[in-house]
Amino acid sequence: MKKLLITRVLPDAVYPLLDGWDVVRRDLTTPLDGAEMRSALQEFDAVLCTLGDQFSAEVFADVTQPRCRMLANFGVGYNHIDVAAAQAAGLVVSNTPGAVTDATADVAMTLMLMSARRAGEGERLVRAGAWEGWHPTQMLGMHLTGKSVGIVGMGRIGQAIARRCHFGFDMAVHYFGRGRKELAFEATYHSDLKAMAAAVDVLVTAVPASPATHHIIDKDVLSAMQPHARLINIARGDVVAEDALIEALGNKTIGGAGLDVYEFEPEVPEALRALDNVVLLPHLGTATEEVRVDMGRMAVENLQAFLVGKTPPNLV
């Protein structure tokens, strides 16, 4: 029987789906360390891994003849896996793309609303016992309905965000990406990211992490944004230059930000935590019971296909 390592605690509904595997559960919430990753490649036929399990080129270089033949990633993002190194070592890599789309788009809208309406500041005010009552100029924010949104990356998640903005909030949709898309709603394509950043009230990142998207939101893009504009990041932390963002927020170059991911996650700099004009969430993008179970099911479908010699449906 093929041996499978599950590197992190999963929803209970996922485990019964793993018929045919000799399953070893690592019931922890922390990522694998270097020694654990090397042992996983040597001792298991497949590994169901997730964000933080850094299967780097160095890890593969240290295991010259791995027993492992598959990394089934729990999540759509797989920048923690060096896919080229895995493939060179004879492994296949899969992910779970479709399951995360709506939940991640919902969190983008949560952050947009929280930032625009200063909801985080307001809650802190009430919890501190410092609220002195309603008055006409109390905590005035930005009215989101009817504003413009610029989406960096118009893939599945970008389009889900755009639909919510267009149909739900009557927002003008702009987008930047590798090319124009056929969309079911009106949207303006931009080939110049800085030009789009200058034109919109809310800028949302929805791109995968890759060398091409590393720090795609840099000092120049932030400087191009309007003083009232908000930056929302639900992609990966390193698509935003965190130091540049802290500077832009501190100097009020932009109106605010909403972040669900961080460049050196889970580390969040004190300089960022000290700012009132940024909403900070602990990577909640897919954090619903239904979605995490669906992600598990999709990861298992990939594993089960591999087990019987078929091509996993979600290879990367």
Show which residues are catalytic.
236, 265, 283
Q: Which of 174, 222, 214, 171 is nearest to 194 (CA)?
A: 222
Cβ contacts of 272 within 8 Å, gap of 6 or more: 242, 245, 246, 249, 259, 262, 278, 280
Dihedral, CA of residue 79, residue 237, residue 175 and residue 117, to nearest 10: 150
Q: Which residues pair with 81 in a beta bridge?
A: 55
Look at the block and give the residue holding tokens 């702009």. 174
Which DSSP letter does residue 168 get?
I
- Cis, peptide link before residue 266, omega less than 30° from 0: yes
Residue 102's identity, in one-letter code, is: D
Nearest-10 crossing angle of helices 101-116, 156-163: 50
Distance (Å, whole) CA 164 – CA 106 = 8
Distance (Å, whole) CA 33 – CA 268 = 21
Residue 291 three-state SS: helix
Cα separation values, 278 from 118, 138, 143, 209, 244, Å: 9, 18, 17, 22, 14
**DSSP track, 174-207:** EEESSS----SS-EEEES-HHHHHHH-SEEEE--
Distance (Å, whole) CA 133 – CA 140 = 14
